[in-house]
Amino acid sequence: MSVSVAVAGASGYAGGELLRLLAQHPELEVATVTAHSNAGQPLLAVHPHLRSLGHLSFVETTAAQLQGHDVVFLALPHGQSAAIAAELSDDVLVVDCGADHRLTSEADWQAFYGDGWGGSWPYGMPELPVGDALQRRNLRGVRRIAVPGCNVTAVTLALAPGVQAGIVDATDVVAVLAVGPSGAGRALKPHLLASELLGNAQAYAVGGTHRHIPEIEQNLRAAGAAEVRISFTPVLVPMARGILATVTAPLVEGTSVDDVLSAWHSAYADERYVHVLPHGETPRVSDVVGSNSAVMGVTVDERAGRVVVVCAIDNLGKGTAGAAIQSANIALGLDEHLGLTTDGVAP
């Protein structure tokens, strides 16, 4: 007996990727897709690449349309999830791809998002070390999940093993990320036009203003850091999908290369979707496009006294829709890997 699913905000890029993955999922079945301005249109009018779901049409995003499904994925603009989730029954699994329920600190929310903190939900990053265990354990059986931010996932997975092992100084983290425009959604803004981005690169949200900063700090504290300070700069580059995060932090005095490699390799040894490359190798974004994988290369720069971790994810995959489905699988007691792939679409 299949599990019925509704996807709210299904007309965006995150919604589209959720649908693409769900169409391959053997247990979950998409029954309802909702949208705002596209309500009433066939799904194919917005997502012509999703022919296997060609029978669906968008309905209005209301609690009434979403109610009655076993699982509801919310892919709504930030700030719109809390209200609609409050109207859904407690026994419905609600997986929020927005930011509304990620932060555990109301002060952080106010500093970066303003009013309207919705309270925190179980955090959908199964591989995050939390104390001596993994966040995976905290997702079993839950009925509310907050999916991490895409940049957050890349930076957190890149640095958590060193933090957990106590060998990196988390008070001087520097992260610079090459990111594709799909992370900004289907927003009609001039700098997201192809004419502007082709042959171009541009940083944005420079200087400590990006909303993903408090979420990264929260995660690294969960992994064991007493204090976290991060310089975070995303750089928009002309690839449709993907994040390549270069994350660096000082190593604690006396840390050897072996200590570093041991920490990272052991942290993810049992994970299917998080891969640590041999020393000296670096991942490509194309290795993870379309997949749920995060791949990272870890290098020690002895001259600079820093570890450099380069981590690739698909912002729409492991960065959003993949994490949502992986976490939902865990919550529902299904095989964690259903509907997900390890392999990227390359070249």
Which are the catalytic amino acids? 150
Contact window for a copy of itself (CB under 8 A) among 116-124, 160-168, 305-313, 328-336: 305-313
Cα(151)–Cα(147) distance, integer angstroms: 12
Binder of a copy of itself out of 289, 324, 328, 332 (CB under 8 A): 289
Binder of a copy of itself out of 104, 218, 255, 293 (CB under 8 A): 293
Residue closest to 232 by CA, chosen among 173, 154, 298 = 173
Contact window for a copy of itself (CB under 8 A) among 146-154, 158-166, 298-306, 325-333: 298-306
Report the DSSP beta bridge partners of residue 35: 60
Least distance in angstroms from the C-beta of 97 to a copy of itself:
16
Contact window for a copy of itself (CB under 8 A) among 59-67, 121-129, 201-209, 325-333: 201-209
Per-residue binding letters, 158-187, with a copy of itself (x by CB under 8 A): --------------x-x-x-x-xxx-x-x-
**Residue 184 has which token pair?**
């900004």
Residue closest to 260 by CA, chosen among 219, 216, 301 = 301
Binder of a copy of itself out of 162, 290, 319, 322 (CB under 8 A): 290
276 membership: H or E segment, kind and range: strand 274-276
Binder of a copy of itself out of 197, 220, 324, 330 (CB under 8 A): 197
Q: Pick the closer one to a copy of itself by CB: 83 or 193.
A: 193
Cα(88)–Cα(72) distance, integer angstroms: 9
295 counts as binding a copy of itself under rule CB under 8 A: yes
Contact window for a copy of itself (CB under 8 A) among 1-9, 59-67, 138-146, 281-289: 281-289
Binder of a copy of itself out of 41, 89, 256, 342 (CB under 8 A): 342
- In this structure, the number of other CB atoms found within 10 A of the CB of residue 325 comes to 31
Phi, psi of 153 (to 5 degrees): -60, -45
Q: Pick the closer one to a copy of itself by CB: 122 or 344.
A: 344
| Count of residues engaged in binding a copy of itself, rule: CB under 8 A | 89
Report the DSSP beta bridge partners of residue 173: 230
Phi, psi of 320 (to 5 degrees): -150, -80
Q: For the chain, what is the largest distance between any 2 Cα atoms, rounded to a whole number of angstroms?
A: 63
Binder of a copy of itself out of 157, 288, 313, 330 (CB under 8 A): 288
Residues in contact with 1: Cβ distance below 8 Å, sequence separation at least 6, in sequence order: none
Secondary structure of residue 178 in the 3-state scheme? strand
Q: Which of residues 40-99 bind a copy of itself (CB under 8 A)?
A: 47-53
Q: Pick the closer one to a copy of itself by CB: 92 or 334.
A: 334
Strand pairing category for 294-301 and 306-313:
antiparallel
Cα(167)–Cα(299) distance, integer angstroms: 14
**Residue 233 has which token pair?**
């700069």
Report the DSSP beta bridge partners of residue 8: 34, 74
Per-residue binding letters, 6-45, with a copy of itself (x by CB under 8 A): -------x--x---x--xx---------------------
Q: Which of residues 208-267 bind a copy of itself (CB under 8 A)?
A: 208, 213, 229-231, 233, 235, 237-242, 244, 246, 248, 250
Secondary structure of residue 271 in the 3-state scheme? coil
Q: Pick the closer one to a copy of itself by CB: 63 or 235.
A: 235
Output DSSP code: residue 51.
G
Q: Pick the closer one to a copy of itself by CB: 131 or 190.
A: 190
Residue closest to 92 by CA, chosen among 46, 55, 142 = 142
Contact window for a copy of itself (CB under 8 A) among 57-65, 66-74, 295-303, 321-329: 295-303
194 membership: H or E segment, kind and range: helix 194-197
Least distance in angstroms from the C-beta of 222 to a copy of itself:
19
